[in-house]
Amino acid sequence: MLDKAVQQALRPLMTRAARGLVRLGVGADAITFAGFAIGMAAAVAIAFQQYMPGLALLLLSRLMDGLDGAVARATQPTDRGGFLDITLDFLFYAAIPLAFALADPANNALPAAVLLASFIGTGSSFLAFAAVAEKRHLHSVAFPDKSFYFLGGLTEATETMAAFAAMCLWPAWFPQIAYGFAVLCGITIALRIGWGWQRFR
């Protein structure tokens, strides 16, 4: 819901940083892999109940996730880069609830499972819509720079990161945050199914 506004606000800063990285010879794929590695390090920190270091690594990982696209646009975007970006993003998003489950299995395992199930719904509806949109040669107006039809919703990357940050800041409240965010993901799934039903008639 907030991704477009956040991306527009950060675009000038990301563009300047990307130009500097391009001058240094840093490629978009390298940034994608580095961001994923940092995200996995965040998950490991959270699993060992190191929530503040986990939060710092988590935020750095998402900064890298924004930079890889900016570097790609400053050079030459590729299908391989788009594939890597979305695949590693989904793995990262799955790793964080799993890390909280490992940190406190007795209290967090069930809410983490519910949240992961909702992520499967948002991810599958996102990718299924993109696949059919590509077949029909449709393009996103809201996110024209993406490598495929980037479908929005109530729970996009910005909202997910806000939820993850809240979990790190108040880990004792993980079950309540996870269940609440799962409900919001459920609304996003329903909206996307409705959009697909109407758009692909």
Mean pLDDT of the chain: 86
Distance between CA atoms of residues 48 and 148, nearest Å? 36
Per-domain residue ranges of the chain:
3-199
Residue 57's pLDDT is 97
Using 50, 70 and 90 to split pLDDT, how confident is the model at 75? confident
Q: Looking at the predicted structure, is the pLDDT value of residue 4 above 70? A: no
Q: Is 16 exposed, middle or buried (0-12, 13-18, 19+ CB in 10 A)?
A: exposed
What confidence category does residue 73 fall into, taking pLDDT thresholds of 50, 70 and 90? confident
Q: How many CA atoms lie within 13 A of 19 on its CB side?
A: 5
User: What pLDDT does residue 7 have?
Assistant: 65
Mean pLDDT of 170-191: 96
pLDDT of residue 143: 52
Region 2-28: mean pLDDT is: 71
pTM equals 0.85
What mean pLDDT do residues 156-184 have?
A: 96
Rounded to 5°, the CA angle 157-160-14 comes to 40
In the chain, % of residues over pLDDT 90: 50
What fold characterizes domain 3-199?
A: Four Helix Bundle (Hemerythrin (Met), subunit A) (1.20.120)
Measured distance CA(121)–CA(161) in Å, rounded: 18
At 69 the pLDDT is 79
**Residue type at position 195:** W
What is the band of 130 on the pLDDT scale with cuts at 50, 70, 90? confident
- pLDDT tens digits along 9-18: 667 777 777 6
DSSP-assigned letter for residue 78: -
Counting every residue written for the chain, the total comes to: 201
pLDDT in tens, 45-66: 999 999 999 999 999 998 888 8
Query: Does the pLDDT value for residue 93 go beyond 70?
Result: yes
The residue-averaged pLDDT of 34-39 equals 96
Q: How far apart are CA 15 and CA 69, in angstroms?
A: 10
